[in-house]
Amino acid sequence: MNKSELRKLIRNKRRNLSLRRRQSAARGLLSTLRQSSQFMAGKRVALYLSNDGEIDPQLVCDDLEQRGKQVFLPVLHPLRKGHLSFIRYTRNSRMKRNRYGISEPDFRFGQHANARYLSSVCLPLVAFDQRGNRLGMGGGYYDRTLEFMHQPGHKPALIGCAYEFQQLPQLPAEAWDIPLTAIATEAAFRRF
C-alpha cells in the first residue's frame, strides 16, 4: 500500500472505534506514559487535542496539570505557513477552531514556547513502525516545525501517541522525516 492508502485504511479504523474502546485506550495511554520516568520528569510538555479518531491525551493533560507541569498545544502558526507554534494550555485558555476545525489555543493570547525547549512533544500519528518512523496526516507541519532535531543542541523527546493497532512492520521514510524517540500506546511504551 502507498501512504495515501495506509492513511485511509487506518483513519477509518480509528474513526470506527466505539466510545468505550476510545475511553479505555485513553486511560491506557495515561498509564503507559506514567511509566516513563523521562516523560514524568519533564516540566514543559506538548500534547494535542484529539481529532479524527486519534487516541485522546486529555487525561494526560489533566494529570500533568494536577502535577504542576506546563502543558502546551500545537497551533497553526499564522505567519510561518506550514509550521506550528506551541502555546500554553489550561482549562481557562481562550480556544478557537483552526482551518481544519481542530480546537486550539488562540495564538494572540497564549504563552508561546519554542519547541526546542520543551521536555517532550507528544505527536498524533496515523501509523508507526518498529524503527520509530511516523506516518502523519500528510501536511508536514510537525516535520517542518521540528526540523531543528537534525541539528546539534537541546532537543525534546518526541513521543508518538497511538493505538496499538496503528503499528506496522515498516514505513517508508523520507530524508526530511523526523524519527520518534518513543511511542506510547494504550498497551506499551517503546523507546527507539
Q: Where are the domains of the chain?
A: 3-191
CATH code for 3-191?
A: 3.40.50.10420
Q: Give the pLDDT mean for 73-93.
A: 93
Phi, psi values for residue 186, rounded to 5°: -70, -15
Residue with the bigger pLDDT between 139 and 189: it is: 189
137-167 residue pLDDT tens: 888 899 999 999 988 888 999 999 999 999 9
Q: What is the pTM of this model?
A: 0.93
Cα 147 to the center of its chain, rounded Å: 16
| Residue 37 confidence (pLDDT) | 93
Question: In one letter, which amino acid is 6?
Answer: L
